[in-house]
Amino acid sequence: MHTIVHRLKQWLVPGLLGAAFTTAALVSTAASAQTQIKLAYALSQQSHYGAAGEAFARTLEEGSGGKFTVQQFPNSALGGEREVIEGLQLGTIDAAVLSTGATMNFVPSAAVFDVPFLLRDLEHARKVLDSEIGENMLAEFSKRGLIALAWGEQGFRHLTNNVREVATPADAAGLKIRTTENQLHIQAFREIGILPTPMAWPEVTTALQQGTIDGQENPLSVIVSAKLSQLQKYLSLTGHVYAPAVIIVSPSVYEGLSDEDKALFQQAGKAAGQAMRAYVSEVEASGLEQLKQEGMIVTEVDRAAFAKAVEPAYADYNKRFGADLIEKIRSTQ
């Protein structure tokens, strides 16, 4: 009997230990197979950037069965957009939702969508970005150490200030307005007579509070989500430029993926872009009324007069991007 028990122990214990080691190995492999993606963006989770972040995370996590998880870093938690782009190139940041105002210094040709008064309305802008023109521009990012998954959207930019109502270019003359580090916008504002003041977004609130600048310009999606009605009295519906956004992933993440996972990241990028568009459409419908209720004085402007004031800058825009491309964008139906 003792011999039988001894033999059972010899057989069972190694078997149990083997099973235990196998289980531990499986758990360890599952844990190591789970990859956390750090996603950065400039605004709050209650913004159109946050809507993109949620859609990106949900698509990636559900599509991979939990293999990928997404940790969101809103409110410029990982730095301003320039720092985030450098982090993407270095591989210290995995993914981001970015304004094209920041990316134009890295991918100059994609800045063509920022040419003032080139895109007529949201429908026109979306058709252009979804066309071959937009696809070709996404491909340009890979030449600068960035993988652009999809176009997102902020909407058309409008002017706010604390000095006076602005309905014509003459009303805007002399106002000190914060802009992004976007030479196209800066050039256009100078033609209008505005004093453009390039400034990183995290510094804007303090500058407005202290009166260092008179105002700023942003789409309604930003004006509403950033609660600028608490800092600015006048909103002028200039719609002077369309503001795309772009969903980016670091090559250090993307190039190590299987084809199946690359397709999933592409899908997540497109879902993020669509979520931004849905948010912008909603804000365009309801945001103005909300801002009025919050005390802003909203002014319809002579948009044709503003467009005419900017016309001298088009000689440079045509030279920079090519008159053919600008005309192709303008004539897209």
As given in the structure block, the two tokens for residue 110 are 């994609």
Phi, psi of 24 (to 5 degrees): -60, -40
Rounded distance between C-alpha atoms, residue 18 and residue 61, angstroms:
32
Q: What is the DSSP letter of 199?
A: -
Q: What percent of the chain has pLDDT over 70?
A: 90
Query: In the chain, what are the domains?
Result: 33-330 (3.40.190.170)
3-class SS letters over 252-318: HHHCCCCHHHHHHHHHHHHHHHHHHHHHHHHHHHHHHHHHHHCCCEEEECCHHHHHHHHHHHHHHHH
Q: Indicate if the pLDDT at residue 225 is higher than 90.
A: no
Read off the tokens for 8: 């059972």
pLDDT in the model for residue 31: 38
Average pLDDT over residues 27-40: 68
8 A C-beta contact, residue 212 and residue 277: no
Q: Is the pTM of this model over 0.85?
A: no
Phi and psi at 118, nearest 5°, equal: -90, -45
Identify which of 153, 161, 152, 220 has the alpha carbon closest to the alpha carbon of residue 192: 161
State the pLDDT at residue 33.
Answer: 65
Rounded alpha-carbon distances, angstroms, from residue 210 to 200, 206, 291: 16, 6, 22
Query: What is the percentage of the chain residues whose pLDDT exceeds 90?
Result: 82
**pLDDT score of 172 more than 60:** yes
